């Protein structure tokens, strides 16, 4: 999409000029793969063309042509490319279509089948792409021009000369029907009607499989095509479902997409991750409570040894009580993306207590933890996943400076215990990741993640794990009933 101007000018332009937090680019290299699978599907669709019976009279002869079926289709020369304004253009030249039909000649009755070929067939189709209310890309319009330059029929048998005399009228009628340009939703004998139905109904049923809560990583405008790419801008913001009107201001740099080596590129700014973490913070999801057996054994022993002086002063009924460790983030975490890597800064409260059965808990310590986590981003399947690692760690007491000094010897072993015992739990929670919206049956391969100043990019190629027809036939009924249907968002946060 066109780049926004400087931030001041963007603010003056209005609220809609907020910088995007996410961008997606589909390059022309993806079209080579799409063309292979798409032409195979298109051939199958064009083979469903049906031509109505032809009846007529020439002199004393009456003829009836019925049961016309497509026997062969050859799309010898085709091109699929992006085109400004039209979005996506498909051109097929010099194709041929084989037909077989039942003949009846009534002057001197004779019946049988005749093979006919439509040659020099050209198809020029443009797909106009837009976004539906849920944010998914859809085919909003199809323009089509199709023509058959000539038809040829092969006859044999006793009445060969008669058939050759009538063939001009028969093939001219068939060619007229095939060349009709009227577009209708129902697939009929017209080539353009078949293509219109394939785009607005069948292809849209495939695009409808993009997860509805993720496709609105919602953008403000329709996709923009250049001669080599299709670009889409998304706001890239998360929000708690309980606070649908809340919005985190985007003060991050705008992500840039300059590469074209892979089929697909996705760029995320720091705002994308900051809004996600702030949403989870506001939803109360950034906390971890470990009690009793849930506390890793080595960490339990370390903490009991550290607070041994306080524990031995307690009553015998409390000394052996289960240990409680509670970590609660007290401010929204912030993400920093640099070419050298991605870090997340977190400030959390740490509460250590004993919880005797049927008695009030006994607090041993309350401290604040400042941590810096390294975040390694990777694309697994369709999900962007994060592997966290604790790098920097500092704790200090909320109660006194003297206790803060006493905690200094605890920092190194506690960091080790958190790295071994707690970080795996956090990584298990982040394992699901954020799904990149792709239609069903299409996967990413050859992924590469690159860090830049203030944003990161992910490049990948595409792979069809399922055929187009398999996915479309599975989802066509659902789309026909409700073309606006979308998946329900996750219970705690949603992306826009």
Q: What does the alpha-carbon distance between residue 300 and residue 298 come to, in Å, rounded to a whole number?
A: 5
In this structure, of 263-277, 341-355, 457-471, the range with the lowest mean pLDDT score is 457-471
To the nearest whole percent, how much of the chain has pLDDT over 70?
A: 75
Q: Are residues 203 and 290 in the same domain?
A: no
Q: What pLDDT, on a 0 to 100 scale, did the predictor assign at position 16?
A: 47
d(CA 202, CA 470): 11
Whether residue 84 sits in one domain with residue 204: yes
Helix 401-417 crosses helix 297-306 at what angle (to 10 degrees)?
160
Q: What is the pLDDT of residue 251?
A: 85
Quick one: pLDDT at residue 409? 76
Residues 42 and 189 in one domain: yes
Say if residue 479's pLDDT is above 60: no
Please indicate, yes or no, whether residues 195 and 304 belong to a single structural domain of this protein.
Answer: no
Shared domain for 55 and 194, answered yes or no, is yes
Residue 149 within a domain:
yes
Q: Give 69-96 pLDDT, tens digit per residue.
A: 777 777 778 888 888 876 888 888 888 7
Q: Which domain holds residue 72?
A: 28-208
Counting Cα atoms < 13 Å in the Cβ hemisphere of 94 gives 4
pLDDT at 247 over 80: no
DSSP state at residue 86:
T
Exposure of 322 in the CB half-sphere (CA atoms within 13 A)? 15
pLDDT value of position 182 = 47
CATH number of the domain where residue 81 is located: 3.15.10.10
pLDDT of residue 412: 81
Q: Exposure of 405 by Cβ count < 10 A (0-12 exposed, 13-18 middle, 19+ buried)? A: exposed
Helix (H, G, I), strand (E, B) or coil at 144: strand
**What is residue 456's predicted lDDT score, i.e. its pLDDT?**
93
The pLDDT of residue 455 is above 90 = yes
Q: Which neighbouring-strand residues pair with 351?
A: 326, 366
Within-domain flag for 408 = yes
Q: Is the pLDDT of residue 219 over 90?
A: no
Report the pLDDT value the prediction gives residue 460, as an integer from 0 to 100.
Answer: 92
The enclosing domain of 339 has a CATH number of 3.15.20.10
Could you count the other beta carbons within 10 Å of the beta carbon of residue 198? 25
Choosing from 173, 208, 243, the residue where a domain stops is 208
Domain boundary among 167, 189, 208: 208
Confidence class for position 339, pLDDT limits 50, 70, 90? very high
pLDDT (average), residues 434-441: 81
Q: Answer yes or no: is pLDDT of 298 > 50.
A: yes
Does residue 306 sit in the same domain as residue 174?
no
For residue 327, give the nearest of 377, 358, 373, 374 by alpha carbon. 373
pLDDT of residue 483: 47
Q: Based on the domain organization, do 62 and 198 belong to the same domain?
A: yes
Within a domain: 55: yes
Report CA-CA distances (Å) from 67 to 51, 101, 104, 109, 312: 8, 5, 11, 18, 96
For residue 176, the model assigns a pLDDT of 61
Q: CA-CA distance, 240 to 93, in Å (whole number)? A: 52
- Give residue 232's pLDDT: 85
pLDDT average, residue stretch 362-379: 88
Mean pLDDT of 434-447: 84
Same domain, 91 and 197: yes
Q: Residue 57's beta-bridge partner residues? A: 62
Of the candidates 81, 171, 175, 88, the residue with the CA atom closest to the CA atom of residue 126:
88
Confidence of residue 276 (pLDDT cuts 50, 70, 90): confident
Pair (290, 204) in one structural domain: no
Residue in the block written with tokens 């199809």: 142
User: Are residues 193 and 45 located together in one domain of the fold?
Assistant: yes
| Residue 312 confidence (pLDDT) above 80 | no
Q: Looking at 58-72, 257-271, 290-304, which range is the least confident one?
A: 58-72
485 found inside a domain? no
Q: Mean per-residue pLDDT for 104-118? A: 64
pLDDT category at 195 given cuts 50, 70, 90 is: confident
295 shares its domain with 414: yes
pLDDT class of 11 with cuts at 50, 70, 90: very low
Closest to 419 in 3D by CA, of 394, 389, 395: 389
Rounded to the nearest integer, the mean pLDDT of the chain is: 76
The verdict on residue 415 lying in a domain is yes
Whether residues 169 and 82 fall in one domain: yes
Name the domain boundary from 190, 208, 226. 208
User: What pLDDT was estimated at residue 215?
Assistant: 36
Domain tally for the chain?
2
The pLDDT value recorded for residue 128 is 87
Whether residue 240 is predicted with pLDDT greater than 50 in this model: the reply is yes
- Of the candidates 264, 255, 214, the one whose C-alpha atom is nearest the C-alpha of residue 237 is 214
Q: Percent of the chain having pLDDT more than 90?
A: 11
Q: Identify the bridge partners of residue 238 per DSSP, sorted by sequence position.
A: 495
| Residues written for the chain | 496
Task: Report if residue 247 sits inside a domain.
Answer: no
Residue 372 confidence class, pLDDT cut points 50, 70, 90: very high
Q: Which residue has the higher pLDDT, 384 or 175?
A: 384
Rounded to whole angstroms, how far apart are CA atoms 105 and 100? 16
Residue 104 lies in a domain: yes
Q: Is there a domain that residue 318 lies in?
A: yes
Residue 230 main-chain phi, psi, to 5 deg: -120, 115
Range with the lowest mean pLDDT among 61-65, 106-110, 269-273? Answer: 106-110
Structure confidence at residue 97 (pLDDT): 75
Strands (E), 398-432: none
Looking at residue 250, its pLDDT comes to 83
Alpha-carbon distance 178 to 143, whole Å?
A: 16
More confident residue, 153 or 461: 461
CA distances from 32 to 5, 262, 466 (A): 34, 12, 17
């Amino acid at each position: 999409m066109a780049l926004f101007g400087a931030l001041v000018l963007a603010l003056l332009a209005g609220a809609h000029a907020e910088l995007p937090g996410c961008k997606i680019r589909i390059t022309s290299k993806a079209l080579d793969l799409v063309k292979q699978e798409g032409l195979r599907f298109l051939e199958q669709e064009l083979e469903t063309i049906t031509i109505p019976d032809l009846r007529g009279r020439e002199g004393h002869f009456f003829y009836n042509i019925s049961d016309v079926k497509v026997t062969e289709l050859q799309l010898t020369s085709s091109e699929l490319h992006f085109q400004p304004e039209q979005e996506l253009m498909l051109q097929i030249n010099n194709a041929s279509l084989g037909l077989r039909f039942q003949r009846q000649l009534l002057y001197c009755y004779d019946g049988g089948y005749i093979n006919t070929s439509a040659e020099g067939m050209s198809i020029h189709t443009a797909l106009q792409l837009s976004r539906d209310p849920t944010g998914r890309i859809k085919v909003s319009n199809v323009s089509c021009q199709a023509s058959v330059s000539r038809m040829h029929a092969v006859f044999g048998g006793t009445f060969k000369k008669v058939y050759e005399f009538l063939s001009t009228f028969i093939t001219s009628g068939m060619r007229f029907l095939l060349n009709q340009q009227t577009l209708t939703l129902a697939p009929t004998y017209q080539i353009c009607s078949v293509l219109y139905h394939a785009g607005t109904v069948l292809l849209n049923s495939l695009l409808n499989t993009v997860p509805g809560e993720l496709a609105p990583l919602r953008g403000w405008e329709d996709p923009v095509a250049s001669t080599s790419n299709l670009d889409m801008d998304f706001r890239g913001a998360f929000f708690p479902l309980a606070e649908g009107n809340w919005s985190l201001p985007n003060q991050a740099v705008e992500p840039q997409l300059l590469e074209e080596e892979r089929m697909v590129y996705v760029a995320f700014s720091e705002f994308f991750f900051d809004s996600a973490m702030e949403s989870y913070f506001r939803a109360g999801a950034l906390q971890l409570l470990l009690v009793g057996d849930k506390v890793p054994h080595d960490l339990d022993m370390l903490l009991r040894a550290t607070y041994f002086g306080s524990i031995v002063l307690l009553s015998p009924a409390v000394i052996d009580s289960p240990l409680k460790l509670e970590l609660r983030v007290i401010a929204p975490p912030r993400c920093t993306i640099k070419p050298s890597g991605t870090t997340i800064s977190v400030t959390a409260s740490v509460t250590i207590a004993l919880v005797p059965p049927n008695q009030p808990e006994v607090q041993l310590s309350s401290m604040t933890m400042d941590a810096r986590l390294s975040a390694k981003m990777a694309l697994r399947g369709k999900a962007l996943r994060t592997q966290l690692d604790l790098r920097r760690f500092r704790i200090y007491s909320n109660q006194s400076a003297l206790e803060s000094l006493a905690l200094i010897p605890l920092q190194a072993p506690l960091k080790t215990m958190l790295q071994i015992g707690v970080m795996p739990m956090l990584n298990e929670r982040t394992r699901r990741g954020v799904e990149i919206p792709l239609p069903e049956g299409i996967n990413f391969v050859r992924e590469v993640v690159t860090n830049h100043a203030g944003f990161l990019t992910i490049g990948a190629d595409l792979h069809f794990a399922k055929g187009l027809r398999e996915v479309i036939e599975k989802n066509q009924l659902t789309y026909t009933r409700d073309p606006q249907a979308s998946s329900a968002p996750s219970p705690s946060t949603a992306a826009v």
